[in-house]
Amino acid sequence: MRTKILILLTITVFFIACKKDSFNTNPQITFNNVNSTVFSQGQILTFQLDFTDKEGDIQDTLWVEKISRTCPKEVGVQIINKNKVPNFTPTSNLKGKLEISYIYNGNAPGITSIIGCSNKNDTAYFRFWLKDKAQNRSDTITSPDIILLKK
């Protein structure tokens, strides 16, 4: 009987500890997915990120940076933009998804355009980090390599 109680108590403590660790004062972001890894000009890239925040005050900025592996001198490192996170009523232990879209060498209303190499295909990756209202910053996460086709 004592063994069963000890096992049950251990399992309960494990679940409580895991839940407590999933929300921190610094926002936490993880890469979920991107709609493709190869894009032609005019196509839209959409990244999905998951986030958690203990205070729920992530309504500041999501930074996005594009780093070219192919043409570092031409397009190099580009801070694409600072995306303002929309205001909403913060709730403790907030968990959700962020979706960010860009159009490759094109125009679309409300979507930021990104560029690739001017004379060949570009292989690039993207870095993301989140800052909350209290100026706490998440770790930086990285996307898989994205191929931006010249043609």
The tens digit of pLDDT for each residue in 30-63 reads 999 999 999 999 999 999 999 888 888 888 888 8
Residue-level length of the chain: 151
As for how many domains the chain has, the answer is: 1
- 85 lies in which domain range? 23-148
Scanning the structure block, which residue is given the tokens 């580009």? 78
Percent of the residues in the chain that have a pLDDT greater than 70, as a whole number: 79
Residue 9 lies in a domain: no
CA nearest neighbour of 114 among 10, 41, 18, 17: 41
Pairing of strands 28-34, 38-39: unpaired
Per-residue CA distances from 142 to 39, 56, 116 (Å): 18, 23, 18
Which tens digit of pLDDT belongs to each residue from 131-142?
Answer: 988 899 989 999
The pTM of this model reads 0.79
CATH code, domain carrying 48: 2.60.40.2550
The C-alpha angle with vertex 63 and arms to 58 and 69, in degrees rounded to 5, equals 150
Fill in the DSSP letter of residue 13. Answer: H
Residue 55 lies in a domain: yes
